[in-house]
Amino acid sequence: MTEITVAPLADVTMPRPRGSVRGRLQDALPKLVLAPSFAAILLFVYGFILWTFYLSFTNSKAFANDHLVGLSNYQKLWTWTFETDPPSGWYTAIINMGLFGGLYVVCCLALGLTLAILLDQKIRGEGFLRPIYLYPLALSFIVTGTAWKLFLDPGIGLEKAVHDLGWTSFSFDWVVNPRMMIYCVAIAGIWASSGFVMALFLAGLRGIDGEILKAAQIDGASGFMMYRRIIIPIMRPVFFSALIILTHLAIKSYDLVLSVTGKNPGGAAELPSTFMYSYTFTRNQMAVGSASAIIMLMAIAAIMVPYLYSELREKSQ
Amino acid sequence: MKFRTMLMAGVALASAAGFAASAHAADDKTVQMLHWWTSGGEAAALNVLKGDLAKEGFAWKDVPVAGGGGEGAMTALKAMVAAGNPPTASQILGYFAVDYAEAGKLGDITSLATKENWAKVVPTALQKFTTTNGKWDAVPVNIHSVNWVWINKAVLEKIGGTEPKTFDEFIALLDKAKAAGVIPLALGGQPWQEATMFDSVVASTGGIEFYKKAFVDLDESALKSDTMKKSFDNLAKLKAYTDPNFAGRDWNLATAMVIKGDALVQVMGDWAKGEFKAANKEAGKDFLCYRFPGTDGSVIYNTDMFAMFNVPADRKAAQLALADATMSISFQSAFNVVKGSVPARMDVPDTAFDICGKKGIADVKAANADGKFVGSMAQNYAQPPAVAGAYHDVVTKFFHGEIKTSDSAVTELVKAINAAK
Amino acid sequence: MSAADALLAAEPRRDPSRSSMTTRIVIYGLLGFFAIVYLLPLVVMVMTSLKPLDEVTGGNMFALPKEPNFDAWAKAWGTTCVGLTCEGIKGYFWNSIKMVIPAVLISTLLGALNGYVLTKWRFAGHRLVFGLMLFACFIPFQSVIIPMAVILGMLGEWGNFFTDNLGVSLGFGNPTVNLVLVHTVYGLGFTTLFFRNFYEAFPTELVKSAMIDGAGFFQIFRRIMLPNSGPIFIVTVIYQFTNIWNDFLFGATFAAGDQSPMTVAVNNVVNTSTGIIEYNVNMAAAIIAAAPTLFVYVVAGRYFVRGLMAGAVKG
């Protein structure tokens, strides 16, 4: 596609028929078209957030109720945040979110970028390799989790297969070791999503203007320098899209955790999503579940809003 | 008008789906049933009920949501109730039934209960969950009990063991198995399984009166007592007899280890018997069922119930038919033979049951008469889900070494239970 | 030149002449290694599904099937029990299709219109509106279930009202329609993101000159934007199709029963709590459930990358 940058249209005064009903309708049309989507999001996202916010101040148990109890649910979570010995479920959830989320996002980006750069070296059989990296995203997280749980199970999976080959001292028992379980969830998650990130980066690489690279080459930039100084910075918008998609997947990875770890033994694989779900639906402490959802949203907002703000702002300049 | 045509096509498709299924008014002859009994044996047993209802002209509308102890099904149920569109009935466990009843979501089938005299045949303890202020709003399908051990008979004979009568004898037996190179204890390391085993350990260590005091009354001195500490120590002893890969294992895979003879014994509720049956194993010949050592005479129960929702008048007849069929002696017998549990009615003959089933029926009757029939803490029958969840947390953290000593385990238990109350 | 032509012409263009033989070997080695790692779970799944059950439970999961056959596939498709009905998962396949197609089409079209408005018909506060729509991507679905159920319940009431007065429910209260609504709403953030980023890079002069010629809002969209949106349509459709097809939480919660989508049926087959676990049937069912998305990725994968390349990922 031709790369043309022009001033945004709305900044230019448009010759439009004014005054008539038809004209005014024409003026309002774009907003009318956007309105249903925006209204739906206001109701189904922000309305629901408000509702959850309200519930977090009540003592709702199995069902929502109106009995306000002030900040006591937040106080509970606040105390749990610092309960490290033994770790409270909420503390584990926060630590795991950091570990899992960090590993998942960073490794997906790193692996995705590496694969994209490798594939971009005029590879024979690219059309054959690309779908191999891409297909895991086509599987649902439940299937992914189940497959990896079997695969990593020391009794029947990888460890046993290596033992059968003769290397009997080989040991890989992370999936049955509560302390290491969260890393197995991360491995399965990275396997599932890194191919998609690869596709994003590959597209980004292919979209770079050849002239820029040629100029850099003439200036004597080495291959590595070119990637570090020119290509990767140009792909900043790709990082933006990838980060948004990965973050939302990390936050919502509920099915994956439960299917890889097998119902969270030792409470060691708790994540905010599993915490929220179990308090709301299986422990019938809906108010605590709601409070945890609100804290989770505030944490996401604290990270994402400045990022969204700076990215969206720069675009318009 | 390309995009508009596409949009129209989309909307048309969506509403075509709507038109197709708009049979709303004439739905009084259907029984909509939410459950998570999707696997072979249980589904076959439920089919008996479906057939019984079909004979009376009621159609069965199946709403299965499998998974765990019905977590997915409970979420779906909550959504259906929140939408004001409850099923005719739903499989439900323990205090969840009480929650729905207290929120006024359940219907009233007292007329049928009085006519059939259920109050006489169902153990009083169960009626706490099936009635609210004297009104019947749920029917019990079965009585499970969790304080069982399941032993592979061939392995027991091979290692020269006998039935353990006390906890110490149990440990000695496990030692024997270990020495013989068999996995002594087949365990699935998931929080609910560990907590379910701990129910039995507590009843064995402190006796059933102590169990009641601690878990039913939530007596703080009992929860903090040395007996409770000893129970945790005993639980820790059991951990030494598992294989290293137990964490996260499903319970039926652990049962399979006993069936195959890889392991000697599993501590599990009597639903495990269904697995032996499915593998064509015979009670008394291939496998043995004993009460958890030191708990003979007591029954720590849980029960599957069908909660009857507050449905519009035109669906009431189907609901009553379902309740009636569920409580029929023939169904209670047929279903429980397959499921491994015992009938919820005390007047069902035990002729169709195997020796484990016969023992189960006799035990329930005796325990009910002696006041030794108590709800399982792990399964939400002693306390509401919030407290049971706290209990799961502490037990599983202790079992997996996050809580290191029995001293801190009891402190944590009291703290967690108080926070959940 | 249309965007599609440019796409078809696009080829890897960096010159590899400086790469030595060893770097080539390292590159191919790495790519091959990763390909094996990525393929392994699928290979194990497929092999398991081709074995009889005793070979699965008794043998090594990496061993090739001795006598590969499709019995497990046939069972999963046609005769395995989903709850009390033993007719396989084939019926649920259609449920998924009739839910996915409208949901994908509607959310994609709305995303296209939103992207068009947010880039070419900007108004005061357009950035805030977009930011709010984008942040909506992060709402945890577990916390919307109950309020969503209440709203769907209200729609169901309307459905009853219409049924009583008109004889048809107009789709209100129908589980499939409910799922279409839910997936459309929670997909809007992503579809809008994709189209906005694509149209951002679209030459505004074309729009401007059309406007001077007197073309209206929809005319410009139809005549100028849509014909050039092929690649981004492919990306958005694939992304939405995958997400909606694989959704379990909403399907299980709002459409349990005979209207439930494929994932719920597969869960009912795979996730049974008791009885013998038929790994081969489970794996076959899982692969069948994933088949449409796998097909889309493998066949449309090249267009997917091309589509992304054409601007989905540009900021």
- How is C284-300 classified by DSSP, letter by letter? HHHHHHHHHHHHHHHHH
Is the confidence at residue A312, as pLDDT, over 70? yes
Give dist(CA C91, CA C93) in Å, integer: 5
Domain contains A140: yes
| Nearest alpha-carbon partner for A3 in C5, C202, C6 | C202
Residues, chain A, total? 317
The reply to whether B78 touches chain A by the CB within 8 Å rule is: yes
Is the confidence at residue C4, as pLDDT, over 60? no
**Domain tally, chain A:** 1
pLDDT at position A190, please? Answer: 95
For chain A, how far is it from start to end, CA to CA, in angstroms? 22
**The dihedral sign for the CA sequence B207, B213, B216, B222:** negative
pLDDT at position C273, please? Answer: 60
Residue of chain B nearest C169, judged by CA positions: B22
The reply to whether A44 touches chain C by the CB within 8 Å rule is: yes
Give dist(CA A35, CA C125) in Å, integer: 13
Is the confidence at residue A8, as pLDDT, over 60? no
Of C203, C286, C308, the CB nearest to A143: C286
| Nearest alpha-carbon partner for B236 in B409, B391, B389 | B409
Query: ∠ CA(C287), CA(C291), CA(C292), 5° rounding?
Result: 155
Domain contains A61: no
| Cβ neighbours for B16, distance < 8 A, ≥ 6 positions apart | none
Share of chain C above pLDDT 90, in %: 23
CATH number of the domain that residue A91 is part of: 1.10.3720.10
The reply to whether B386 touches chain A by the CB within 8 Å rule is: yes
pLDDT tens string, chain B, 421 residues long: the values are: 444 455 455 555 544 444 444 444 455 789 999 998 877 667 877 888 999 999 999 999 999 888 767 788 888 999 999 888 899 999 999 999 999 999 999 999 999 999 999 999 999 999 999 999 999 999 999 999 999 999 999 999 999 999 999 999 999 999 999 999 999 999 998 899 999 999 999 999 999 999 999 999 999 999 999 999 999 999 999 999 999 888 888 888 899 899 999 999 999 999 899 889 888 899 999 999 999 999 999 999 999 999 999 999 899 999 999 999 999 999 999 999 888 899 999 999 999 999 999 999 999 999 999 999 999 999 999 999 999 999 999 999 999 988 999 999 999 999 999 988 8
Q: pLDDT band at A314, cuts 50/70/90?
A: low
Residue with token string 């590496």: A114
| Nearest alpha-carbon partner for B101 in B314, B408, B307, B390 | B307
In chain C, which residues have their Cβ closer than 8 Å to the Cβ of B32? 257
| Nearest alpha-carbon partner for C298 in B421, A129, B227, B158 | A129
pLDDT at position B22, please? Answer: 42
How far does the CA of residue B146 sit from the closest CA of chain C (Å)? Answer: 16
Tokens of residue A274, six digits: 């599993």
Give dist(CA B109, CA C293) in Å, integer: 48
Residue pLDDT, tens place only, A202-258: 877 877 777 777 887 787 777 777 788 888 887 877 788 788 889 888 888 888 888
Mutate: best of A105, A114, A206, A240, partner C, most C CBs <10 A = A206
State whether A41 and C133 contact (CB < 8 Å).
yes
Tokens of residue B186, six digits: 């087949």
Question: What are the backbone angles phi and psi of residue C313, rounded to the nearest 5°?
Answer: -100, 0
State whether C193 and A244 contact (CB < 8 Å).
yes
Domain span including residue A130 = 87-284
For chain C, how far is it from start to end, CA to CA, in angstroms? 22
Amino acid letter, C296: V
Q: What number of CA atoms fall less than 13 Å from residue A3's CA on the CB side?
A: 9
State whether B85 and C153 contact (CB < 8 Å).
yes
Domain contains A247: yes
Tell me what the mean pLDDT of segment A160-189 comes to.
Answer: 86
pLDDT at position B332, please? Answer: 94
Domain contains A267: yes
How far does the CA of residue C84 sit from the closest CA of chain B (Å)? Answer: 6
pLDDT at position A14, please? Answer: 47
Cβ–Cβ contacts within 10 Å for residue A226, how many? Answer: 17
State whether A276 and C134 contact (CB < 8 Å).
no
For residues A43 and C136, is the Cβ–Cβ distance under 8 A?
Answer: no
Domain contains A301: no
Strand arrangement, sheet containing B30-35: B59-64, B30-35, B89-93, B304-308, B138-140
pTM to 2 decimal places = 0.86
Of A160 and B130, which is predicted with more confidence? B130
Provide the mean pLDDT of chain C.
83
Torsion angle in degrees (nearest 10) through CA of C225, C230, C235, C239: 80
Domain contains A105: yes
Count residue pairs from A and C with Cβ separation < 8 A: 301
Residues, chain B, total? 421
In chain B, which residues have their Cβ closer than 8 Å to the Cβ of C161? none
pLDDT at position C309, please? Answer: 66
CA C163 to chain centre: 33
- Full set of structural domains in chain B with CATH: 30-143+302-359 (3.40.190.10), 145-301+372-420 (3.40.190.10)
Domain contains A94: yes
State whether A266 and B189 contact (CB < 8 Å).
yes
Gyration radius of chain A over CA positions? 25
pLDDT at position C3, please? Answer: 32
- How do beta strands B131-132 and B89-93 pair? unpaired
Tokens of residue A141, six digits: 């997280």
Give dist(CA C228, CA C199) in Å, integer: 10
| Nearest alpha-carbon partner for A161 in C262, C43, B121 | C43
ipTM confidence: 0.83
State whether C168 and B9 contact (CB < 8 Å).
no
Helix axis angle for A21-41 and C90-120, nearest 10°, is: 130
Amino acid letter, B218: L
- How do beta strands B131-132 and B135-136 pair? antiparallel
Q: pLDDT band at A122, cuts 50/70/90?
A: confident
For chain B, how far is it from start to end, CA to CA, in angstroms? 62
Tell me what the mean pLDDT of segment C58-72 comes to.
Answer: 82
Residue pLDDT, tens place only, A54-69: 999 999 988 888 899 9
Give dist(CA C13, CA A120) in Å, integer: 8
